[in-house]
Amino acid sequence: MKIPLSDHIENLSPYQPGKPIKEVERELGIKNTIKLASNENPFGPSPKAIKAGRKALKEIHLYPEGGGFYLCEALSRFYKVPKDWIILGNGSVEIIEIAAKALIYKGLNSVMSEGSFAMYKIATLAMGGEAREVKMKNRTHDLKEMAKAVDKNTRIVMVANPNNPTGTYNSYREVEDLLESVPENVLVIIDEAYKEYIVREDYKSAKYLIEKYPNLLVLGTFSKAYGLAGLRIGYGFGNPEVLEILHKVRSPFNTSLIAQEACLAALEDQEFVKKSAELNLKEMAFVENELKKLKLSFTPSVGNFILIDLPISGKEFFDKLLKEGVIVRPMAMSGFPNSVRVTISKRKDNKKFIEATKKVLNL
């Protein structure tokens, strides 16, 4: 290509999504493949969300409400956050990209943890900034060291809590200590995509801190526990002055009409979310117990996925499992070359994964 590129774009490695079922079956000529690679809700979405989405199809010749007025209103009621403190994104990842677009340029940096969500680094590098990665402690964000990594050129600190792909978390107290340690002119993003799954006494959403810390942005999503990954809606809670900056570079109509309507209905069906989380806990215990029987190491997880360490490379394990009709996620991109991330699914699928693992590892 003759179009010149800046160095930071030419050298950027794109995000590698989980392999789709149809692609695997087409390539390998197999059927009944299961996908455990992208942390999707195996129980699908709420029937109420499906019904609302279908109803909205009648109006898809119209643009959606630009700022998601009614969904923001519903989120405001549910989370008890003022409506003008809420922003929507095409998945929570778009809000991360918006923040980087607004705040990062060459000479500036974002601070993040090693072994965290790959898009934090990509979003920063795409804007020509430096991605400053801090070593983990027991596969958990070391928030004290992350605070120390902040300097006069830092504009964003990004924390996944719970963290993807390790499934670990930081306590509410640790998050508040981080906010106390970071200068007010640095945006702190706490990404809580998996918050609906965690059951720990010392964990609480950072949304309770947004009034105290004007430089805090707390993210959530409808992609995981709500089972609406294909509709791509995330949300953020933050001070209106911060959101005003983000809205300057947010694309118009960045969330679709169907997605907004489906999310409105999904938010009302908390029984579905509760059931999904409870079944995840039950199946997590099953998978952990089976892995222990196989003497395979793993990182205890509070999410809907588990990071498993292997005697072979994650890529080799991934390739072998594909032939057995099981798709998992090799995690070399996140700094774990001998590990895979596996989504917790229904019992039938979890058993298929365990049996395939025994076969390819000769266990």
**151 shares its domain with 275:** no
Is residue 53, in this structure, part of any structural domain at all? yes
**38 shares its domain with 162:** no
Is the separation of the CB atoms in 197 and 40 below 8 Å? no
**145 shares its domain with 276:** no
H/E element, 291: helix 270-293
Token readout for 296 is 């395979």
Is the separation of the CB atoms in 116 and 157 below 8 Å? no
Which is nearest to 277 in space by CA: 226, 329, 207?
226
Is residue 168, in this structure, part of any structural domain at all? yes
Instruction: Give the C-alpha separation, 171 to 19, whole Å.
Output: 33
Count how many domains the chain has.
Answer: 2
Phi-psi category of 175—alpha, beta or left, where left has phi over 0 and alpha has psi -120 to 50? Answer: alpha
Is the separation of the CB atoms in 112 and 334 below 8 Å? no
The answer to whether the predicted template modeling score (pTM) of the entire model surpasses 0.85 is yes
Spatial neighbors of 295 by CB under 8 A, at least 6 apart, are 363
The structure tokens 């129980």 sit at 43
The structure tokens 């979003």 sit at 123
Is the separation of the CB atoms in 195 and 162 below 8 Å? yes
Is residue 202, in this structure, part of any structural domain at all? yes
Token readout for 220 is 């959530």
**242 shares its domain with 128:** yes
pLDDT, residue 238, reads: 98
Phi-psi category of 251—alpha, beta or left, where left has phi over 0 and alpha has psi -120 to 50? Answer: beta
pLDDT, residue 293, reads: 97
Is residue 2, in this structure, part of any structural domain at all? no
**226 shares its domain with 280:** no
Helix, strand, coil percent content, the chain, rounded in steps of 5: 45, 15, 40
298-299 sheet: strands from edge to edge = 298-299, 305-309, 336-343, 329-331
Is the separation of the CB atoms in 231 and 263 below 8 Å? yes
Is the separation of the CB atoms in 119 and 16 below 8 Å? no
Token readout for 264 is 């409105």
Is residue 131, in this structure, part of any structural domain at all? yes
Token readout for 49 is 């969300």
Q: What is the CATH number of the domain that holds 304?
A: 3.90.1150.10
**145 shares its domain with 214:** yes
Q: Please list the ranges in the chain whose pLDDT falls under 70.
A: 1, 12, 15, 19
Is the separation of the CB atoms in 110 and 132 below 8 Å? yes
H/E element, 157: strand 154-160
> Which of 205, 240, 269 marks a domain boundary?
269
How far does CA 110 lie from the centroid of its chain?
18
**261: three-class secondary structure by DSSP:** helix
Q: What is the CATH number of the domain that holds 241?
A: 3.40.640.10
> Which of 269, 288, 319 marks a domain boundary?
269
Spatial neighbors of 348 by CB under 8 A, at least 6 apart, are none
**230 shares its domain with 291:** no
Instruction: Give the C-alpha separation, 363 to 356, whole Å.
Output: 10
**234 shares its domain with 100:** yes
**281 shares its domain with 340:** yes
The structure tokens 């309770």 sit at 208
| DSSP designation for 230 | G
> Which of 234, 269, 304 marks a domain boundary?
269
pLDDT, residue 9, reads: 76
Q: How many CB atoms lie within 10 A of CB 285?
A: 11
**119 shares its domain with 263:** yes
**What is the per-residue pLDDT across 4-60, written as a single tens digit (0 to 9) for each?**
777 777 776 776 777 677 777 787 787 889 999 999 999 999 999 999 999 999 999
Q: Which domain holds residue 289?
A: 7-44+271-361
**264 shares its domain with 120:** yes
**291 shares its domain with 265:** no
pLDDT, residue 12, reads: 66
Label the pairing between strands 336-343 and 329-331.
antiparallel
